[in-house]
């Protein structure tokens, strides 16, 4: 399964649970459109009781880049929960 297919599967599942789910686009695009800071995890989930979960989605066998790892650490230092998921099952386990 390619990364975008894994992302859609995860997002559909989390939306079905009633969570607010946002796909974060990082980096830059044409025409100087500003997106999220490079390294920002792929998915932001706002759950019940003000709980937040950031999900970095990777294909099986792939790991986050150094820029992504740095951003994950910055988020964790601010009390945010960040996971790297290679499948929906890993997200379900983390919930």
Summarize the confidence of residues 3-29 as an average pLDDT: 92
Percent of the chain with pLDDT over 90: 81
Share of the chain above pLDDT 70, in %: 94
Residue 87 DSSP code: S
Q: Kindly give the pairing relationship between strand 52-57 and strand 43-46.
A: antiparallel
Residues 44/21, Cβ–Cβ less than 8 Å: yes
CATH number of the domain at 84, please.
Answer: 3.40.1350.10
Whether residue 85 has pLDDT greater than 90: yes
42 by Cβ neighbours in 10 Å (0-12 / 13-18 / 19+) ranks as buried
Sheet holding 20-23, edge to edge: 20-23, 43-46, 52-57, 81-85
Number of domains in the chain: 1
In which band, very low, low, confident or very high, does the pLDDT at 48 lie, cut at 50, 70 and 90?
A: confident
Confidence of residue 26 (pLDDT cuts 50, 70, 90): confident
Binned at pLDDT 50, 70 and 90, residue 37 comes out as confident
Q: Can you give the residue range of the structural domain that contains 19?
A: 3-94
**pTM across the whole model:** 0.91
């Amino acid at each position: 399964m390619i990364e975008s297919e894994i992302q859609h599967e995860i997002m559909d599942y989390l939306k079905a649970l009633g969570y607010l789910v946002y796909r974060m686009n990082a980096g830059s695009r044409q025409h100087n459109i500003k997106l999220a800071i490079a390294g920002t995890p792929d998915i932001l989930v706002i759950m019940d009781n003000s709980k937040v979960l950031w999900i970095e989605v990777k294909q099986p066998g792939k790991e986050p880049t150094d820029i992504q790892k740095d951003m994950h650490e910055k988020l964790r230092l601010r009390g945010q929960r960040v996971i790297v998921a290679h499948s929906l099952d890993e997200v379900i386990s983390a919930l």
